[in-house]
Amino acid sequence: SVRFGCAGCRLVLLLSICLLLISLVGGSVQAESMLEQSASRLITALGEKGYHDTAIAVLDQLSRNEAVSDSFRQKIPLWRANERVAGIRETSDAEQRQRAYERAISDFKHILEGHQDLSVAAEAAFQLGMVFLDMGRLSRNQAAAVGKDIKEAQRFFLSAVDAFVGPRSGQTALSALEKELQHVEELIGEYRGRRVIAPDGRRELNQLEQSRERLRGRRVQVQLLAAEAFSEMAECFEQDSKEWSQSLEEALRRYHAVYLSTPTRSAGLWARLEEGKTLLALGRKKEGQEVLLEITKLPSSEALIYQLRVKAVDSLLASWTNTTSLKDDEQFDERLRQFVLGESLVSPLNSDYLAMKYRSAELLWRRLEASSVDSKDARKSLLADVRILARDVAKAGGIYAASARKLLEQLGRQDAAFADRLGRSFVASFRHAEEVLEQYRTNPSEIQRSTALAELQEVLRIAPSQPAEDQELKKEHLSLLRYQLALLFYEDQRYHEAASLGDFLVKYSLYEPICQKAAILALASWQALVTQQNAQWADSATTQIGELASVIMRRWPRDRCSTDAAEVSINLALRNGNSAAIKSVLYSLDEDVIGRGEVLVRGGVALWHLCQNPGNGQDRTSSGLRTECVQHASEALDEGFAAIDEVTSMQGRTFEVAVAGAIARCEISLYLGQDDSLDLFSLLSHAGYGPWRVLRDSSRELPPSIYEPGLRVCVRAFSKLQRYDLAMQSMQSLVENISSNKEARLRLVGTSISVGKKLIEAAEERRSQDNTSSEKSRFSDDEIEFIEHLLDFTKDATDQLEVMSWVAITLSRLGLPGDGLVSRVPEKKRKSFLLQASATIEKILSHGELPQSAMTSWRRELVAVRSNLGQWEEAVEQMRVILADQQNNRSPVLQQYAADLFQKAAQNSQSLEQARAYFRSAIVGSRLMLEVGESVVWGWGSLASRVSKAAFGSREGVADKMQEIYFESRFRLAACRLAWAQKEVDAAIKTQLLKEAEADIKIEAQLHPSLGGDVLKERFEALLEVIQQESLTISKTR
């Protein structure tokens, strides 16, 4: 019958030659319970029937069954990986197969690295080699179709050889088999050494001997497959090229070695056959023909040997008929002629058998045409044989049937009529279609696909009207052929035709398996059309996807295809921003559908994405809608995690979806804060899909789309949980992995700023709740270290002005007194923060994008930082630059700030001369010419004079502010003189300063008796008392 996928005929026969099946028990003898024996038989049966998803579901159930032994349980991951690979081989989607093969390679390598059981290791290495072979074929076919580089295919074939026989450094299939075989030999030797063997021991010995035979067969098998890999690798290269010859020579050497090791066993004879064919391919015709003729002389008592003889004869005939000289086929003697005409030990529909018969007919017809008309008896005999052979091939159908009918047409009127009748038979057409498809699946090149499309369309054009004995079977076969045509359309990227034919089969086919596969194919075709540049196509395809997905979920609610359709619908709804459609899909899921948990989690992730990025006209600012959306996302994720499989059964796509769901659920918890009851730490460290747990596991490979958000949510979550050590570890891991990705670094910068702001907000909240300087309200050492970690990364990650501004402000807040945070920072850290703030502000001031209007505020910030560091000269220098701007030096507020700075600088100066200069500037002002202009400092005295008019004018508001500055200036003028006097060593200057300070206050009291209000008046009076006391002290010392 027509197959839904290609299994590789040559490889299937090679495996059967070795008389081996992929055994669930392996090579060693171990007692299994009835449950385990039944499970083994069930898994084998399901795999043989192609129900690989069901087999995986059974294995998942077994992994959770406590009655299963540890030895049996340890093999479940291997069997599960085998079923996944077997399932994907049936699909025609090359990209899907490639992704699945890549995951399988990772799975088998993981099993090899972690398993000590030799039977498991041998099977894992064997399957790894098989996957590499499949990858090589896939890559080779893709390269042939689209002109890609063939080196990748070559690498896969070499990797297959490496896995089968070496020389890889780790475990190979051959090395594991030899170790296991040695162990079995030792056990057999122990039994043989006993004088008396009990009945139970005899049974065990028999089982061991059977295991030994299986292991010997498998050992030869992997050696054969290594040779096969080199033979197939030769197809990657141009014929007769150096690489082509080298590959075939290596295959020839390996085939010959296998033959020499087992010259009388079927595997050795198979190797001998391939040796002969390879010699022919290399142009060594005489040697190759001798080897193949040797095989044709084998006794045909067994069907397997007979089939080898058929293949050998067919290869010889192909070589002979490809020449022009009749002398070349002289070795096709009476013995071979009778073998071809004789009774068959294989199916009359066997492709090799039919090829042999047709080529024999062709060769004999060539002899007939070249023979003398006088040789009547010889010609009559040749004609009779040609007729028998051609009729047999034409009746059997298949790829050579049409050619055989054409040959019959040349034999006479009666034979021509017979050929015509056969050509009109539906069975013949169907068999021809089968052979065409088989030929394409064996060699899926673009040329072969075009040929298959044309042939299949022609068959479907004439087949409906052709006669058939079984009309129901005919209808089923027509459905199969239409499905295969749709599949060819899809592979040829003719998606409209594939989708239309698939939709037709879904609506009108009476055969459920075909219907279901057609629905899946149509869905894939509509998905491909969505990505087309044509917007009209994409819109129409989007509508069709939704409708078809609903049909699949309704007709096959408990099958895996229903899960796939649900996922497609969710992705489509996400793309369209339709959260209602996602919820509808989740509500319509059958409780028993395979993969229900995965779909729920996927739907929850999609809903959370739409909560953050609403579409379809939804208002992002609508808190009610957002709250409802978040609730639905949270519920879907929680229900999905409750339904999802245990960690032991989570692999590949399910695992990735679960991790993505856990990340989304953590983000929701962070968004909801105290309103969410989720145990955030438990989810982060969940053994199966917790982001923190799985992202640290080097054996797990996750895409960047999961890895990066996962670690970012770990940073945020651990910060919230005050596990700053883990937050720093998460951040360090992320920084190491995104070092070369600019966009990812900027995303982490955003996360760092968000986390940093929350930490500052939390500190402010603690301060508001506890106004003391208790340990409870202080930053912990871990918290301070984490804040430093955030700031260090952020300021080094980018030179964006907004980012640098946040860093500078945060560092200043942690180091400057005034807002209450500094009291929560240890003193040893405070200075470090201020030094970093200073350096960052200087970078900001030199930034090309900093607007001129922002210069002053940043210079003021730098003045504050430097003055708090005790860098008074640098602070004064910056202040002078600020006041070199005419607009700035006319500002009373900036002049007040400058006078205060000069006074403090003077008080803290170590040099008396420098202090006198600063005091003088603070009291009477100063002017200094800089490169940017003249810097003008008013000083306290001039400041009071300049604002007096506005302070006592009629405008409300302005007058109040100016009065405040006026009285503060008058007060600070006297205070500054006092401070200078206290620092001064010259008695005359000291006395003069105190007199002026006392006069300043008394004059102000006369001018404005209220002195600016009760509070200020008390300050003036207290200051006057200090000045007078200081004067009295000086007078007493004279």
Q: How high is the pLDDT of residue 256?
A: 92
Q: Is residue 456 part of a domain?
A: no
pLDDT at residue 326 is higher than 50: yes
Give the residue from 534, 556, 578 where a domain finishes. Answer: 556
pLDDT band at 72 (very low <50, low <70, confident <90, very high): confident
Give the residue from 511, 536, 556 where a domain finishes. Answer: 556
pLDDT digits (tens, 9 = 90+) for 153-174: 888 899 889 888 887 666 788 8
Interatomic CA distance for residues 599 and 579, integer angstroms: 15
Q: Is residue 798 part of a domain?
A: no
pLDDT at residue 20 is higher than 50: no
pLDDT at residue 919 is higher than 90: yes
pLDDT at residue 427 is higher than 90: no
Q: Is residue 1027 part of a domain?
A: yes
Q: Residues 605-634: what's their mean pLDDT?
A: 73
DSSP 290-310: HHHHHHHTS---SHHHHHHHH
CA distances 747 to 708, 712, 742, 857, 930, Å, are: 9, 9, 9, 28, 43
Q: How high is the pLDDT of residue 128?
A: 87
Q: Is residue 310 part of a domain?
A: no
Q: Residues 451-458: what's their mean pLDDT?
A: 89
CA-nearest of 351, 356, 319, 323 to 337 is 356
Residue 206's identity, in one-letter code, is N
Cβ-Cβ contacts under 8 Å for 56 (sequence gap 6 or more): 80, 83, 84, 87
pLDDT band at 879 (very low <50, low <70, confident <90, very high): very high
Given phi > 0 = left and psi -120 to 50 = alpha, else beta, which region is 795?
alpha
pLDDT at residue 623 is higher than 60: no
Interatomic CA distance for residues 573 and 69, integer angstroms: 45
Q: Residues 382-393: what's their mean pLDDT?
A: 91
Q: Is residue 968 part of a domain?
A: yes
Q: How high is the pLDDT of residue 828?
A: 75
Q: Is residue 923 part of a domain?
A: yes
Q: Is residue 988 part of a domain?
A: yes
Domain count, the chain: 2
pLDDT band at 24 (very low <50, low <70, confident <90, very high): very low
pLDDT digits (tens, 9 = 90+) for 179-198: 888 888 888 888 777 767 77
DSSP 825-872: S-HHHHHHHHHHHHHHHHHHHT-TT--HHHHHHHHHHHHHHHHHTT-H
Q: Residues 531-555: what's their mean pLDDT?
A: 74
Q: Is residue 547 part of a domain?
A: yes
pLDDT at residue 602 is higher than 80: yes
Q: How high is the pLDDT of residue 16?
A: 34
pTM: 0.55
The per-residue pLDDT of the chain, averaged, comes to 83
pLDDT at residue 724 is higher than 90: no
Give the residue from 508, 523, 556 where a domain finishes. Answer: 556
Number of alpha helices (DSSP H) and beta strands (DSSP E) in the chain: 47, 2
Q: How high is the pLDDT of residue 13?
A: 33
Q: How high is the pLDDT of residue 694?
A: 83
pLDDT at residue 19 is higher than 60: no
CA distances 135 to 156, 231, 434, 898, 909, Å, are: 6, 15, 25, 75, 78
- Residue 477 is part of which domain span? 473-556
pLDDT at residue 620 is higher than 60: no
Structure tokens at 365: 């017809």
For strands 933-937 and 926-930, give the pairing: antiparallel
CA distances 304 to 11, 224, 226, 268, 765, Å, are: 15, 17, 22, 12, 84
Q: How high is the pLDDT of residue 362?
A: 92
pLDDT at residue 809 is higher than 50: yes
pLDDT digits (tens, 9 = 90+) for 183-238: 888 888 887 777 677 777 778 888 888 888 888 888 888 899 999 999 989 888 88
Higher pLDDT pick, 309 / 595: 309
